[in-house]
Amino acid sequence: DQQVKQNSPSLSVQEGRISILNCDYTNSMFDYFLWYKKYPAEGPTFLISISSIKDKNEDGRFTVFLNKSAKHLSLHIVPSQPGDSAVYFCAASVGQGAQKLVFGQGTRLTINP
């Protein structure tokens, strides 16, 4: 049962344009959502998060939007830069105490010059 889904395995965007990465979830009990960026052979790096009580959170070039009714979140990167090329994972948090994360399969973002 894939509770967190990233339906686009890859995305190609021109440098300077907006990158939009999407994520859908099925468990309405999720209360916290995160985006991570991962380079090959490295651990994921935390990018940005959002609580279920909000619908938008912004940090520099990164903005995360949450649509609870649609069980959908998205990450916007603007403007896109070559260093943004990586695999992006969305994750959702469930449970008290240890915040167990459920990850999507990832989307490989390529920024073209």
**b or e along 51-68 (b: 16 or more beta carbons within 10 Å of the residue's beta carbon)?**
eeeeeebeeeebbbbbee
- Taking the C-alpha atoms of residue 81 and residue 16, their distance in angstroms, rounded to an integer, is 6
Strands 86-94, 107-112: pairing is antiparallel
* Contact string 41-70 vs another protein (x = CB under 8 A): xxxxxx--x---------------------
* Contact string 74-93 vs another protein (x = CB under 8 A): ---------------x-x-x
- Taking the C-alpha atoms of residue 23 and residue 99, their distance in angstroms, rounded to an integer, is 19
Regarding 106 and contact with another protein (CB under 8 A), the answer is: yes
Regarding 104 and contact with another protein (CB under 8 A), the answer is: yes
**What's the closest the beta carbon of residue 94 comes to another protein, in angstroms?**
11
Residues that bind another protein (CB under 8 A): 32, 34, 36, 41-46, 49, 89, 91, 93, 97-106
